[in-house]
Amino acid sequence: MKAFLHPVVFIGAGPGAADLITVRGARRLGEADVVLFDALTDPALRALAPRARWVDVGKRGFCDSTGQTRINALLVKFASEGLRVARLKGGDPSVFGRLEEELQALTEAGLSAEVVPGVTAAIASAAALQRPLTRRGTGRSVSLTTAMTRSGNLQAGRSADTEVFYMAGRQLAALSRRLLDAGWAADTPVAVVSRAGWPDQLTSDHRVATLAEASVLHAGRPAVVTVGVGAGALPRAAPRDPTADAAAPCELESRNH
């Protein structure tokens, strides 16, 4: 019995390597007849659906991309033909994935869909750095922001303790200036991770005022920029006092008498 309950399933492929896809996502992918896949999904995922027809509908910033109207039309076309369609999106479908437009196209065509969540790049970046995006007592809020607007303008604000900026890798110097204009202190920690979730991911630490320095290291690579509390390194643990462990059994023994 097939698990597809709807003609289209949107699957979050995760931010990088194929094994970051969820178990449910992998299962649904393996049952698809046709897969419409994004540019940044790992080609190794093809092994999960070797008999499916794979259609490249990738989008890349500043490059030739598949138009959204065509993607919508392909989803409707294949699903209307009775095929099980997997729409494989990098990261999580609901985070900067144009999911609303594709769902709307299906709804207008009288077609239903399922959404399988995935690991988004902000979470993969935090994992690469081993720096939680939230911190007890100091980091209670996180904002996920696309730095580039639809019109191509670069924007940055300060609405949370930790701000994570997507799609800013080519604009790091300009982002630094925007962050200063938004009220971030010059010495606020900033972490940049490019190709988060891939074996060749790169990380670097900066301050708001020196963020431009990351441009050379991360040039030409999809990058996530974390600013604020979640970008700061965790404090180092204080050295252990060996006498404390020695005293512990005596203390325990005295409490038992």
**Residue in 51, 65, 245, 61 with CA at minimum distance from that of residue 146:** 61
Judged by phi (left if over 0) then psi (alpha if -120 to 50, else beta), residue 96 lies in left
User: What's the CA gap between 106 and 245, in Å, rounded?
Assistant: 64
In the set 42, 59, 64, 205, the catalytic residue is 59
Ranges of beta strands (E only) in 158-243 are 162-166, 189-194, 202-207, 223-228
Q: Is 2 a catalytic residue?
A: no
**CB burial of residue 145 (10 Å; 0-12, 13-18, 19+):** buried
Catalytic residue chosen out of the listed positions 38, 42, 92, 161: 38
155: number of CA atoms within 13 Å, CB side? 12
Contact predicate 162/122, CB 8 Å? no
Active-site entry in 89, 161, 167, 181: 167
Catalytic annotation present for 181 = no
Q: What is the torsion angle, in degrees rounded to the nearest 10, for the CA atoms of residue 47, residue 48, residue 49 and residue 54?
A: -60
Query: To which H or E segment does residue 12 belong?
Result: strand 8-12
167: annotated active-site residue: yes
Query: What gap in Å lies between CA 231 and CA 131, rounded to an integer?
Result: 7
* 88, 67 contact by CB (below 8 A): no
Catalytic positions, please?
38, 59, 167
